[in-house]
Amino acid sequence: MALVNIKEMLEKARREKYCVGAFDASTIEMAMKIVEAAEEKRSPVILMGLTPDLQQGNGAMLDYWLYCLRKMAEDATVPVCLHLDHATDMDFLKKCVDAGFTSVMYDASVNTLEENIRLSKEAVDYAHAHGVTVEAELGHVGDGIVSGEVKEDGDYDNPDDYLTDPEEMKRFIEETGVDCLAVAVGTSHGVYVHEPKLHFDRLDTLNAISDIPMVMHGGSGTPDDQIKKAVEKGICKLNIYSEMLSAYYGELKKKLESSGTLAIWVVKANEKPLEALKEVVKEKIDLCGSAGKA
Ligand SMILES: [Zn+2]
């Protein structure tokens, strides 16, 4: 019933001024918990696949993952989109379109504007011919303050240096035909070592120019009030991964350390970690304002 592409899901979100949480599902169990959380909240949800996960077993995992998650999405009582997160390999992106994703992201944001437009358009042409929607990225949401690229003078790779340029955005959307766009307004991927400061003026400007929904990456660790404000100012998709992992591994560590033996059934060891992950998903759904919008 519920498998949809990202365009219809996010256009509704944009009209009604809420945001849809997008969660990376590295395992089938994680995906099940994300869907459970969305069903309990009566919220639409985006399940994302990550290239390193999908390429396991010489690429065999791609088919297994989609086989299980398509079934999960079809059985769900809320709308679910299956979205490929951050592809940088065009051949792999095309494989994912062929294999059954309903939406894909092609991230050429480290390239020049010309090259980003050319590559994103290639992804759009291929995906749209197969009824699949596309997200691209303009400006660059880096891993800067995460991976500790701290330079000798104590400085770090500053996300403010890669903000999305409004003029470039206008041209990018027109020339590529993407369905939604990840913008850089001050967030970073991973776990922050400095609290991010979002550029809301820039977000206002971008939202006024954009006729497609905007996406925020680096949602994990971004303070709640800043996320809420970003949603008010037009962010329609929020990507979350690191916070789910912190919750999951935190509980798993406790379980393993407190257990007298390591011969624990996997399902037992995973019980609390997966519940903790589900709690994060539910909190983010509330923050996005998508509860009750299914
Ligand atoms: Zn991202």
pLDDT at 191: 81
Task: Answer yes or no: is pLDDT of 148 > 50.
Answer: no
Cα-to-centroid distance, 143 and ligand 1 (Å) = 9
Buried b (16+ CB within 10 A) or exposed e, 174-213: eebebbbbbbbbbbbbbebeeebebbeebbebbbeebebb
Cα-to-centroid distance, 78 and ligand 1 (Å) = 24
Instruction: Kindly indicate the confidence band of residue 189, based on its pLDDT and cuts at 50, 70 and 90.
Output: confident
Alpha helices in 101-241 (DSSP H): 113-129, 166-176, 200-209, 224-232
pLDDT at 194: 77
Task: Answer yes or no: is pLDDT of 144 > 70.
Answer: no
Cα-to-centroid distance, 227 and ligand 1 (Å) = 15
Cα-to-centroid distance, 187 and ligand 1 (Å) = 10
Task: Answer yes or no: is pLDDT of 152 > 60.
Answer: no
Walk me through the domains of the chain, giving residue ranges and CATH numbers.
Answer: 6-288 (3.20.20.70)
Task: Answer yes or no: is pLDDT of 260 > 80.
Answer: yes
Q: Are 41 and 292 in contact (CB under 8 A)?
A: yes
pTM: 0.93
- Give the residue numbers annotated as catalytic, written as ranges: 85
pLDDT at 153: 54
Report DSSP state, residue 189: S
Cα-to-centroid distance, 104 and ligand 1 (Å) = 12
Q: Which residues lie at CB < 5 A from ion ligand 1?
A: 217
pLDDT at 146: 41
Q: Are 101 and 83 in contact (CB under 8 A)?
A: yes
pLDDT in tens, 115-128: 999 999 999 999 99
Instruction: Kindly indicate the confidence band of residue 147, based on its pLDDT and cuts at 50, 70 and 90.
Output: very low
pLDDT in tens, 209-230: 999 999 999 888 899 999 999 9
Calculate mean pLDDT across residues 73-88: 97
Calculate mean pLDDT across residues 18-24: 98
Calculate mean pLDDT across residues 254-261: 95
